Amino acid sequence: MTNRINVIGGGLAGTEAAWQIAQAGIPVTLYEMRPVMTSPAHHSEELAELVCSNSFGAMASDRAAGLLHTELRRLNSIIIGKADEHAVPAGGALAVDRAIFSKELTQTLANHPLIELCREEITAIPREGVTVLTTGPLTSEALAADLQQFTGMEYCSFFDAASPIIVGESINSEIAFLASRYDKGEAAYLNCPMNKEQYLAFREALCEAEQAEVKDFERENAKFFEGCLPIEELAQRGEDTMCYGPLKPVGLSDRRYPERDRPYAVVQLRQEDKAGQLWNMVGFQTNLRWGEQKRVFRLIPGLENAEFVRMGVMHRNTFINSPQLLNATLQFKNRHTLLAAGQLVGTEGYTAAAAGGWLAGTNAARLVQGLEPVTLPSTMMMGALIEFITSASPKHFQPMPPNFGIIPPLEKRIRNKRERYGVYRDRALGDLEQWLTEIKHQRVVQTVS
């Protein structure tokens, strides 16, 4: 087997993966299709282009994004290193001068003696050698078709129609009740009941709320996706349409208050993670602006103080069913020499893509060196994110951004949120140090002190 590794896609994940491989002393070819072929969202030919915002999220290490930055900094991530170097003032966020950031990354990689940068569209997954797939949410059509063939039709998505996800402890448990329709099986849903007045006020707000702009390249997919209508579209179709759809009240009563009448409408939330810290609003895929989603969805009884970890979206996004297809090392279960990272595996956001790229690159190098691929402690934000995308329920799998809801709970619960997040941070960084000590004798992991 040749020891040259292929990385396909020079975005956030691919740039990080290629760098980690080269730092481990292994030659790597990084294939990037731009500028030979471009994506509908990219504008330049540089590596690691930031397609929209120039922000990597909150910087404080007791915030989810900030903890991920801190972990990646410790692991000598080139993406976070260059982001720090080219940061611009942005309040508490890590934002960068995007043009210099991407240009410098391109030059740094192109000048590395072990990295060959190939401007070429790859149309099929290489069958030989070790390969890391990092082609992102806008993977080119030919490669997406090959990926679909390799994984199986049902394990590839091309459109993300996701409902908002809410932190469980922010849901008012005096109003929301746990039950399944007609009490079938275990009580698996949190139900937010509405009377007629509350329902009509909610519907009116939903109909009047401002929608996000649909990009030109997304219009076609949006039409194609008629089968999965946004909640605001259902609301507009008629006064009671939602009551015959996702807000159907039948078979749902609050056992705590048997004297109460059946609700007029019910919003259901389904458990998203194993620990029950995150809840997904069933049937609430939406195209509303994020600020509008918060305002309108907090009108639902029980969700007045809802804390959202992911807002609803409806946009083009190529991603695979990672819980079905990948190990926590980011290797495909049915081909261990093929790895994947970035938005393609269902992590969401720039920093999360860099984190996956770090792990996939590190493990690709380890494979070539004859070392066991590694997994990260799930108490780390990086580890928790990878653990989530590789072990979530395959049936309802949707992309996930970094957030504290996916972190394993503490043995003793701390009520104050800020304090709790600080303890999560200390535990994550402590476990990272221990993990580094355990694998220190192995050459691949490069760290900064």
Rounded to a whole number of angstroms, the minimum distance from the CB of residue 18 to ligand FAD is 11
Q: Do the beta carbons of residue 195 and residue 302 sit within 8 Å?
A: no
> At closest approach, how far in Å is the CB of 83 from ligand FAD?
12
- Which of 165, 219, 227, 162 has its CA nearest to residue 190? 165
Give the residue with the Cβ less far from ligand FAD, 78 or 353.
Answer: 353
Q: Name the residue nearer to ligand FAD (CB basis): 67 or 247.
A: 67
Closer to ligand FAD by CB, 24 or 344: give it: 344
- Contact (Cβ atoms closer than 8 angstroms) between residue 17 and residue 361: yes
Of 21 and 234, which has the nearer Cβ to ligand FAD?
21
Nearer to ligand FAD, 37 or 275 (CB): 37
**Cβ closest to ligand FAD, residue 42 vs residue 86:** 42
Query: Rounded to the nearest whole angstrom, what is the least distance from the CB of residue 46 to ligand FAD in the complex?
Result: 9
Which position's Cβ is nearest ligand FAD? 11
Which residues of this chain interact with ligand FAD, rule CB under 6 A?
Answer: 8-14, 31-34, 39, 41-42, 51-53, 121-122, 134-140, 143, 342-344, 349-350, 353
Minimum Å gap between C-beta 332 and ligand FAD is 16
Smaller CB distance to ligand FAD: residue 202 or 319? 319
Q: What gap in Å lies between CA 164 and CA 230, rounded to an integer?
A: 12
Residue type at 49?
E
Rounded least distance, CB 348 to ligand FAD, Å = 6
C-beta of 8: minimal distance to ligand FAD in Å?
5
Length of the chain: 449
**Between 87 and 178, CB nearer to ligand FAD:** 87
Going from the C-alpha of 290 to that of each of 5, 62, 170, 287, 296, the distances in angstroms are 40, 23, 18, 9, 10
Tokens coding 294 = 């918060």
Burial class (CB in 10 A: 0-12, 13-18, 19+), 61: buried
Question: Pairing between strand 265-271 and 93-96?
Answer: unpaired
Question: H or E stretch including 98?
Answer: helix 98-110
Residue 227 to residue 365: CA distance in whole angstroms: 43
Q: How far is the CB of 236 from ligand FAD (least distance, A)?
A: 25
Q: What is the DSSP string of 315-363?
A: EEEEEE-HHHHB-TTSEETTEEEEEE-GGGGTB-SHHHHHHHHHHHHHH
CB of 431 to ligand FAD, least distance (A): 25
DSSP run (H or E) holding 203: helix 196-208
**Coil/strand/helix, residue 265:** strand
